[in-house]
Chain A
């Protein structure tokens, strides 16, 4: 049963993405046809269709996005108009009725939307043939429109609708979230190597005054850096750099910058822990055969420390997938912000947030599983490290 549900879910998702990626035919252009009869031409130029919602005028644009019943006027001054519609979704009422517009009463017939197409079918084109009759003269004009699916009331229907309609937005958001997290983690890692090293260097007796000062400077710098970035929320850091300085003039670059800086502080502590967890004997053994400090660090200590710290660093990547959601605050359309945008478009919150939660879960779960697999393959033994926000 679960596997069937799973298949259905994947199929729906895949289908939604495909439907979104391949463009479908658009509504047809309205026909430019005219007649020699001036009275009829005037009627053609001036008649309007009206939506059943507040009797709004249906422009060409709105005719292409129909979701509800509408009215067709049966006459324009002395010109009488008859209609036929080709569509499985629309039905013309035979009886005329009167509606009251601001400009006065008019006689109309009602076109009912008897069925909305499902979201999987997409928009359905229809054709209205309007025949204008005046003193034995008649002319038929063709109008094209489309009837579009709307979000169903049920949660399941609403969810499927949301996935199919906005699949592309979710997809783009997920890619951006993954990209920012990955790049931020890698950049943060590189920066963290520098920070962790600075944090661990010690002034020795052989150093001259200048060297000691430089070492102390780097040491203090990285200590302060780590304190600040671990001690403040990333949402504040992002706002600070973007709204405070408009850094790089591009929220995406600014966001990447903030994520990298933030991650670096955490990974630096992880690497420092990793280095400290290496037996002092490794350093001494390296020294005892003549390697100097940097050679020892580079060829003996770092490789071991980083290998041990890799699970924790991978964990930072997973955390970043979730935490980059705060970048929505500076206007980056990563996954969460896409969901916010979608809720604003159809005023239904539950479905969009449920879907986005599932996507996050899917991303973090998959990435964790992949990382675990790599760890196992590379035979890393995790060190117990507390980390993360």
Chain B
């Protein structure tokens, strides 16, 4: 049984179809990288999984269950599948520790002392413990993204979705975020990562998906996809991004 199963997913904005029938299976503990050129629908796919977008048709099954029924169910699903955004989107009105404690406090209604301990542990994991009382605007991009990852972790999700987590960062900060993600990957959590960091995808992923014009154009292990791509388009894309 797969953890997440996407069946013939379509999404259109008006007349423009962005996702044209996505089929995808994600197993427990898998690290999946999604690559593809700009506008190919990578973000839309991730956002659909988190129900930030409403699919036009098709099904998304989590533990074989379709959650897109009621608002309550959607919220429940979001506690199990959290997301990290390209632009971090830390809550500007809250400090670092408040940022990561808000959702578990309000949604999971967890005990305060327990939560505090957990928050500090999580911040420690992403190397941001000493910044716990800082306001987001006083952090660098890399620090913000690490806090955002901590925020996503705090819900004890089964899957974390990453939408180009390093694309908005200055080059010297990319490393620290990737380090945190590598550490996470080793901890056994399931991750779906949209990325332009090919080396990272290659090193870390169990599976790489190449998206093109709204469909999963090619997928396979990193070796298969990066070294022996079956399609011309895939090869062209890889050539384009490799320098």
Contacts and interface: CB of A to CB of B under 8 A. Distances in A.
Interface of A: 204-206, 279, 281-282, 284-292, 295, 299-300, 303-304, 307
Given A300-B93, A303-B93, A289 B85 contact: no
A286 B107 contact: no
Given A281-B85, A285-B85, A290 B79 contact: yes
B102 A288 contact: no
A289 B92 contact: no
Interface in B74-105: 75-76, 78-79, 82-83, 85, 87, 89-94, 102-103
B241 interface: no
Residue among A282, A289, A291 facing the most chain B CB atoms (10 A cut-off): A289
A160 B33 CA distance: 82
Nearest to B161: A288
Contacts of A282: 89, 91-92
A292 B75 contact: yes
Interface residues of B, number: 29
Contacts, number: 76
Contacts of A295: 106-107
B51 to A, nearest CB: 8
A256 to B, nearest CB: 31
Nearest to A206: B71
Given A285-B89, A285-B90, A300-B91, 11 more contacts: A206-B70, A282-B91, A285-B83, A286-B102, A288-B83, A289-B152, A289-B155, A290-B79, A290-B155, A304-B91, A307-B93
Interface in B97-152: 102-103, 106-108, 148, 151-152
Task: List the 3 shortest-distance A-B pairs measured between CB atoms, nearest first.
Answer: A285-B89, A290-B79, A289-B103
**Secondary structure at chain A's binding surface: helix, strand, loop or mixed?**
helix
Contacts of B76: 290
B87 A281 contact: yes
B50 interface: yes
Nearest to B135: A379
Contact of B106 (A206, A284, A288, A291): A291
A168 to B, nearest CB: 45
Contact of A284 (B85, B90, B107): B85
